[in-house]
Amino acid sequence: MIRFHKEGYKIIVVSLLLTVAGVLLAEKFIEIAWVAKSIQVLILGFLIIILQFFRNPKRNTTLNENHIIAPVDGKVVVIEEVEEPEYFKDRRLQVSIFMSPINVHVTRYAMSGAVKYSKYHPGKYLVAWHPKASTENERTSIVLENSSFGEILYRQIAGALAKRIVNYAKEGDEVVQGTDAGFIKFGSRVDLYLPLNTKLAVKLGDVVKGGTQVIAEKK
């Protein structure tokens, strides 16, 4: 059974109503049959895009405090050592995952632990792969802490199409690896900032599956 994320319920209902209305109106008022059918197909196609975007497949996470799992579905587009200026203010290992509009856009907690920091930043809507997207786009920064890795930071970043980031993490929360941490509406990316001694289990160009795939582990 297909499951949908709660952030999409309102949009899905409105889209369904508009689809039914559009199909009926095309049937009633457009006399040229092929034109009416073409419009109806386009309307139904739009509905399918909305439905697939807000799908929320069940993921079975194997809990392991020594593993960092992919927080989202997508493609690994950045792996590099960088200066993280907002929270750590030191060198970290950055792993960035880009989500296209056809990916599942649910954000899941990469590890279990305590939420130490959670902050929203308004900003621009540069394309998500732009080098300045991490610091200039609309984004949220969340820090999790556990006994194995210490603190890690993940950042939800809006893209050119994404106009709303949903973040459920609140400072002081105790969260469970693989559970729902939020949602980013339409194309976007998530950056992870890990300790430098973290052992990666992915490489550039890998396509990862959120909530289940191990992307890093404790050495």
Active site residues per annotation: 188
User: What whole-number distance in Å separates Cα of residue 14 and Cα of residue 57?
Assistant: 22
Query: What's the rounded Cα separation, in Å, for the pair 196 and 12?
Result: 42
> DSSP state, 7?
G
Tokens 């109806």 belong to residue: 40
Q: For residues 159 and 116, what is the distance between their CA atoms, to the nearest angstrom?
A: 26
138 within 8 A of 124, measured Cβ to Cβ: yes
Task: Please tell me the distance from the alpha carbon of residue 44 to that of residue 21, in angstroms, as a whole number.
Answer: 11
What residues contact 155, with CB distance under 8 A and at least 6 apart? 134, 139, 140, 141, 142, 190, 191, 192, 193
- Here the tokens at position 192 are 């992870």
Which whole-number Å values give the CA distances from 92 to 87, 149, 151, 159, in the listed order?
11, 12, 11, 23
Q: List phi, psi (to 5°) of 42.
A: -60, -40
